[in-house]
């Protein structure tokens, strides 16, 4: 099987916040060969194509959403080419980011360990330019292999793409209905596995002490405004621990919206509105969403 088509996939089963109704369809792409078939099938599936990773940065609304999810599951063992002082590692978009970080540690390859604790897939990490504690995915990325229904597969150098804070723009020029990250290539430096492990452990311990890492969340709901912490602004505006139905701003870290059980996307949106209004009223700052809302 190279392409599987699923009708009416449930978004609450595909997102870590466990919210949302259904999409029109989901195309699960197992291999490169399936991409041609995907290009043929997409127009007939209707709706807007949307790339899906592990759903760890998504807030999906209720109802039937006019979306066709495209989920790459190319998760074979990454290809590693050793160089003097390091290696080039090529991983499929469907490979798990935590798994990749663990593999790099065992191989003695440094560059991704500051991303420890971030769930999701390689494709999602590149698309979101995921990062923590001053390190972003783009810093280790050398090339990305993209796919569009119109152009097929092609490589793009990282230096020719525009990255920003939780933003990736592959600068395609021409508008495309879908720009799928298919593979990513990272340039990593050689280091002792024990040193890398120590940095991974330090990063995870720091997160575990300050974030609800095991709760049902989508990570930080708002981006940090320049030079400020969104969590601190929310906290000082009185939102830490604020509950609405089954949803809440975490009592541990105000910028984490968590589903405590039985939460709905309507409650999530209402809390987001409350947070924004309170921070605007108190500090005159407009918070921008980091979480991607699917509608």
Ligand X SMILES: Cc1cc2nc3c(=O)[nH]c(=O)nc-3n(C[C@H](O)[C@H](O)[C@H](O)COP(=O)(O)OP(=O)(O)OC[C@H]3O[C@@H](n4cnc5c(N)ncnc54)[C@H](O)[C@@H]3O)c2cc1C
Three-class SS of the chain:
CCEEEEECCEHHHCCCCCCCCEEEEEEEECCCCHHHHHHHHHHHHCCEEEECCCCCCEEECCCEEEEEEEEECCCCCCEEEEECCEEEEEEECCCEHHHHHHHHHHHCEECCHHHCCCCCEHHHHHHHCCEECCEEHHHHEEEEEEEECCCEEEEEEHHHCEEECCEEECCCCCCCCCCEEEEEEEEEEECCHHHHHHHHHHHHHHHHHHCCCCCCEEEECECCCCCCCHHHHHHHCCCCCCEECCEEECCCCCCEEEECCCCCHHHHHHHHHHHHHHHHHHHCCCCCECCEEEC
Among residues 9, 20, 53, 78, which is the contact residue for ligand X, using CB under 6 A?
53
Q: Which CB atom, from 86 or from 231, has the smaller least distance to ligand X?
A: 231
Q: What residues numbered 177-216 form the site for ligand X, per CB under 6 A?
A: 180-181, 213
58 touches ligand X by CB under 6 A: yes
128 touches ligand X by CB under 6 A: yes
Active-site option among 104, 143, 220, 240: 220
Q: Is 220 a catalytic residue?
A: yes
Active-site option among 121, 166, 216, 240: 166
Q: What residues numbered 21-50 form the site for ligand X, per CB under 6 A?
A: 50
Q: Is 64 a catalytic residue?
A: no
Site string for ligand X, 253-292 (x = CB under 6 A): ---------------------------------------x
130 touches ligand X by CB under 6 A: yes
Q: Is 290 a catalytic residue?
A: yes
12 touches ligand X by CB under 6 A: no
For the CB of residue 78, give the shortest distance to ligand X in the complex, in Å.
15
Among residues 78, 86, 123, 275, which is the contact residue for ligand X, using CB under 6 A?
123
Residues that bind ligand X (CB under 6 A): 16, 50-58, 72, 93, 118-121, 123-125, 127-128, 130-132, 166, 180-181, 213, 217-219, 292
Catalytic residue ranges: 166, 220, 290
């Amino acid at each position: 099987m190279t392409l599987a088509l699923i009708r009416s996939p449930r978004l609450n089963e595909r997102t870590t916040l466990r919210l949302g109704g259904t999409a029109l369809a989901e195309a699960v792409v197992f291999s490169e060969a399936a991409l041609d078939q995907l290009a043929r099938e997409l127009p007939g599936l209707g709706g807007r194509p949307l790339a899906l990773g592990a759903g760890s940065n998504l807030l999906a609304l209720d109802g039937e959403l006019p979306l066709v999810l495209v989920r790459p599951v190319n998760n074979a063992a990454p290809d590693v080419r050793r160089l003097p002082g390091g290696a080039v590692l090529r991983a499929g978009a469907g490979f798990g980011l935590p798994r990749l970080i663990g593999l790099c540690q065992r191989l003695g390859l440094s560059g991704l360990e500051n991303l420890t604790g971030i769930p999701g897939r390689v494709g999602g990490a590149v698309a979101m330019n995921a990062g923590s504690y001053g390190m972003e995915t783009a810093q280790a990325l050398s090339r990305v292999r993209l796919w569009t229904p119109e152009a097929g597969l092609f490589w793009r150098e990282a230096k020719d793409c525009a990255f920003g804070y939780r933003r990736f723009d592959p600068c395609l020029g021409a508008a495309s209905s879908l720009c799928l990250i298919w593979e990513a290539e990272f340039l990593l430096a050689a280091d002792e596995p024990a040193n890398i492990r120590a940095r991974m452990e330090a990063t995870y311990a720091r997160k575990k002490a300050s974030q609800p890492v095991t709760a049902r969340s989508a990570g930080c709901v708002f981006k940090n405004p320049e030079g400020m912490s969104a969590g601190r602004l929310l906290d000082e505006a009185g939102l830490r621990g604020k509950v609405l139905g089954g949803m809440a701003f975490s009592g541990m870290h105000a910028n984490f919206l968590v589903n405590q059980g039985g939460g709905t996307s309507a409650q999530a949106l209402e809390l987001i509105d409350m947070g924004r209004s309170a921070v605007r009223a108190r500090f005159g700052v407009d918070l921008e969403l980091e979480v991607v809302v699917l509608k």
